[in-house]
Amino acid sequence: MRQILQDMKAGDLQLAEVPAPRPGRGQVLIRSSQSLVSLGTERMLVEFARAGWINKARQQPDNVRRVLQKIGTDGFAATASAVLRKLDAPIPLGYCNAGVVLEVGEGVEDLKAGDRVASNGPHAEIVCVPRHLCARVPDGVSDTAASFTVLSSVALQGVRLFDPTLGETVVVMGLGLVGLITCQILVANGCRVIGFDIAPDRVARAQALGAQALLLAELEDPTLAVAAQTQGMGADGVIITAATSDNSPIELAPLMTRKRGRVILVGVSGLHLNRKDFFEKEIRFQVSCSYGPGRYEDAYERKGLDYPVGYVRWTEQRNFEAVLELMRAGRLVVEPLVSLRLPFTEALGAYERLGEGQLAIIFDYGAAASSATVVVRAGARPQAGACRIGIIGAGDHVRGVLLPELAKTPAVLAAICSAAGINSEHLSRRYDIPMNTTDYREILARPEVDALVISTRHNQHAQMAAEGLRAGKHVFLEKPLALTVEDLGTVLAAGRERPELRLVVGYNRRFAPLVARMRSLLANRVAPLCMVMTVNAGEIAPSHWVHDLAVGGGRILGEACHFVDLMVHLARSKVEYAYADSMRAPGLAVEHDKVSLHFRFEDGSIGTVHYFANGHRGLPKERLEVFSEGRVLLLENFRRLQGYGFAGFRSQRLWRLDKGHSGLLHQFVRALQDPATPLIPMDELENVSRACFAALKSLRGGQAVAVRG
């Protein structure tokens, strides 16, 4: 199938051939019939992508500050690589889609194949969206009208926040698509609407829709016009639907508003507020968030947990339904707003005409879309090589770390998979990977693939690794190995069934050059070690999937496992007991990211991991101290190693941060050619997982827990 993608680094737009997505649990697969271009949002994305580096930086001053901090802790090379990696990911454009259901995922019972729906799917021939982000289109509403549903819900949510009452006067600033739809919804609510815009044709359209619209160029002072129309009282409030970086809308809004009125920002505006203007009139100011309650809420959108209607009457999905009902009843008319229609095959031309005064651009899809979940690039052929690797997952870590390092090895990259097909399409072209798919089982079934690299969400790791081993593939699995004891048993059993296959977990830090030096310096010790690992982890939003224990496992299983493995490697001994404690405070949303984990090893060594998310970005992320027989090793962020009391060794410093990713991947590829090449022993992989499980159990129970298995 074809989809519009925006290259954020080079600025290029492409109509890319990508594999069709597959619906997961709670998702709906839709064949697009029409989609609407959101001129404001999409124009800003396109202009940002085409801007030079300096202009990009000017538009994101907060990110520039973070980059400067990262240079101070990680060095210029690592920081530059991270910045380029962020910009390298293609962005799908569009979020206003209408089409026909092809298939529904598990748990979706109120829709079926053949139903017409509106959704926030992108500009693509086939889209896959969560159930709460689509709504059934009633009879009598055309596909064209239905494609306006999501954009109209943006307008509706702004009106809901304004909370108009019959007879109120409302100013709408900006008469683009959202502004014109806002005018219609306000008129349907029995409001008197005064609209302002700089474009004569938009002013005329608003007048035809029942608003009293005025052209700003013809007014010396817009506030006087509002005062004249309200007998000097001022409007009951202002809804700003303009898209501008200028401060004029937010400066004019309180001057147009009566005492104790309200101002709602739906569009984009400069936000240098004049406190005096808002203060003296006690004006309420609020920013509207997208389509309504539930937007950007993982539990609502991804997990499908609805808000009870008695407590949240209007969610984003219910706003979709309300908009469609307004269309069905003839109280919201959008077809006359269409100024340009194009077949989807000619869609890229529309973006060269965004500044020509179009109001609404519609893409027509026809019925020729391919639903194939595999795309084989024309002319590409797997090269001859010692091992051919299939990649499952195409997120930031794959894009920025795993693929660049694998490309330096003798391995051949034969296939890549991602859930949506977008990132994998981009990476398949960049690394000349012949096969791109949205179904990982397609890779498992390919006899030409010898090994898998799996980097997906954590709850999929054990299952995919076990399936890969049983399919006869070697497996490189990003940490963690498993989230539960049961899943751990599953993957270990699969490994025992195929002992000739290699299974390695991405515990890269034991392969870092400075860690190798530490291990050699400690090789002749007699007494146990005392190890202290301090991790300045940084906050991740409580809603992030990593904190979801069923999906990400929390940060102990998801990341702290790295440091448990590192200590197992240095001590050359497995963990025997674990004890954990966390920072606890009223209202603390997450307790797994401000913890101290204490481990006792079979040889008598002890190790503590202080994993803290409440530190400062300016402090380097990782620091390890190892005390041994009157000597100390201090490792600072995998760039500098200092020795105290070691004959012939005082310090070693690297030019750039090296956490061992390259060493691990090269070792993995060599092991596929030479079974004698050492990797992480299976008993250590199992011990690290069980030690983390024991730490979690200790965190809940408050006592030390023995590590079994």
- DSSP class per residue in 330-343: TSS--GGGEEEEEE
DSSP label at 348?
A: G
Residue 68 has pLDDT above 60, yes or no: no
CA 659 to chain centre: 24
- Burial class (CB within 10 angstroms; exposed 0-12, middle 13-18, buried 19+) of 379: exposed
What was the pLDDT predicted at 357? 75
Contact between residue 29 and residue 134 where contact means Cβ atoms under 8 Å apart = no
What was the pLDDT predicted at 58? 55
Distance separating alpha carbons of residues 569 and 510, to the nearest angstrom: 7
Q: pLDDT per residue over 302-349, tens digit each?
A: 889 999 999 999 999 999 999 999 999 999 999 999 999 999 999 998
What was the pLDDT predicted at 272? 87
Model confidence at 47, pLDDT cuts 50, 70, 90, reads confident
Task: Assign domain 2-148+334-364 to a CATH class.
Answer: alpha beta
Angle value at C-alpha 666, between 661 and 667, nearest 5 degrees:
100
**Residues paired with residue 98 on neighbouring β-strands, in sequence order:** 34, 118
Contact between residue 94 and residue 123 where contact means Cβ atoms under 8 Å apart = yes
What was the pLDDT predicted at 589? 60
In three-state secondary structure terms, 168 is coil
Distance separating alpha carbons of residues 427 and 410, to the nearest angstrom: 18
| Helix axis angle, 461-470 to 485-497, nearest 10° | 10
Residue 69 has pLDDT above 70, yes or no: no
b/e sequence 239-252, b meaning 16+ C-beta within 10 Å:
bbbbbbeeeebbeb
What was the pLDDT predicted at 63? 54
Q: pLDDT per residue over 473-501, tens digit each?
A: 999 999 999 999 999 999 999 999 999 99
HEC sequence for 99-150: EEEEEECCCCCCCCCCCEEEECCCCECEEEEEHHHEEECCCCCCHHHHCCHH
Of 135, 191, 136, 146, give the one whose Cα is nearest residue 166: 191
Q: What is the percent of the chain where pLDDT is above 70?
A: 92
Most confident of the following: 228-232, 272-276, 320-324, 345-349: 320-324
Model confidence at 673, pLDDT cuts 50, 70, 90, reads confident
Model confidence at 521, pLDDT cuts 50, 70, 90, reads very high
Q: What are phi and psi of 247, to 5 degrees?
A: -90, -5
Helix, strand, coil tally for the chain in percent (to 5): 35, 25, 40
Q: pLDDT per residue over 571-584, tens digit each?
A: 999 999 999 999 88
* Alpha-helical segments (H) within 541-604: 554-555, 561-571
Work out the number of other CB atoms within 10 angstroms of the CB of residue 296: 10
In three-state secondary structure terms, 240 is strand
Q: How many CA atoms lie within 13 A of 494 on its CB side?
A: 23
C-alpha distances (whole Å) from 697 to each of 462, 534, 581 are: 20, 21, 10
Contact between residue 266 and residue 155 where contact means Cβ atoms under 8 Å apart = yes
Distance separating alpha carbons of residues 427 and 420, to the nearest angstrom: 13
Distance separating alpha carbons of residues 56 and 544, to the nearest angstrom: 26
Pairwise pLDDT comparison (609 vs 386), residue with the higher score: 609
Distance separating alpha carbons of residues 685 and 503, to the nearest angstrom: 9
Distance separating alpha carbons of residues 412 and 506, to the nearest angstrom: 19
Rg (CA), the chain: 29
| DSSP per-residue codes, 54-67 | HHHHHH-HHHHHHH
Residue 392 has pLDDT above 70, yes or no: yes
> For domain 151-287, is the CATH number 3.40.50.720?
yes
Task: List CB contacts of 530: < 8 A, sequence separation 6 or more.
Answer: 605, 606, 607, 626, 627, 628
What was the pLDDT predicted at 71? 53
Name the CATH superfamily, with its identifier, for domain 509-666+675-706.
Dihydrodipicolinate Reductase; domain 2 (3.30.360.10)
What was the pLDDT predicted at 244? 84
pTM: 0.87
What was the pLDDT predicted at 212? 94
- Burial class (CB within 10 angstroms; exposed 0-12, middle 13-18, buried 19+) of 275: exposed
Distance separating alpha carbons of residues 439 and 293, to the nearest angstrom: 32
Residue 76 has pLDDT above 80, yes or no: no
Residue 266 has pLDDT above 90, yes or no: yes
Q: Work out the average pLDDT over 594-621.
A: 95
Tokens of 12: 């290029």
Residue the block writes with tokens 């689509």: 134
CA 485 to chain centre: 28
Angle value at C-alpha 397, between 680 and 419, nearest 5 degrees:
110
> Could you tell me the residue ranges of all domains in the chain?
2-148+334-364, 151-287, 378-507, 509-666+675-706
Task: Assign domain 378-507 to a CATH class.
Answer: alpha beta
Our separate counts of H helices and E strands in the chain read 24, 32
Q: What are phi and psi of 305, to 5 degrees?
A: -85, 110
In three-state secondary structure terms, 541 is coil
Distance separating alpha carbons of residues 571 and 683, to the nearest angstrom: 15
Residue 351 has pLDDT above 60, yes or no: yes
Contact between residue 203 and residue 180 where contact means Cβ atoms under 8 Å apart = no
CATH topology of 2-148+334-364 equal to that of 509-666+675-706?
no
DSSP label at 383?
A: P
- Burial class (CB within 10 angstroms; exposed 0-12, middle 13-18, buried 19+) of 655: exposed
Q: Going by DSSP bridges, is the β-strand pair 451-454/474-477 parallel, antiparallel, or unpaired?
A: parallel
Amino acid at 178: V
Q: pLDDT per residue over 178-223, tens digit each?
A: 999 999 999 999 999 999 999 999 999 999 999 999 999 899 899 9
Averaged confidence pLDDT in the chain:
91
Between the CA atoms of 296, 297, 298 and 302, what dihedral angle is there, to the nearest 10 degrees? -80
What was the pLDDT predicted at 385? 59
Angle value at C-alpha 650, between 647 and 654, nearest 5 degrees:
135
Q: Work out the average pLDDT over 628-646.
A: 97
* Alpha-helical segments (H) within 498-609: 513-521, 554-555, 561-571
Residue 384 has pLDDT above 80, yes or no: no
Q: pLDDT per residue over 96-127, tens digit each?
A: 999 999 999 999 999 999 999 999 999 999 99
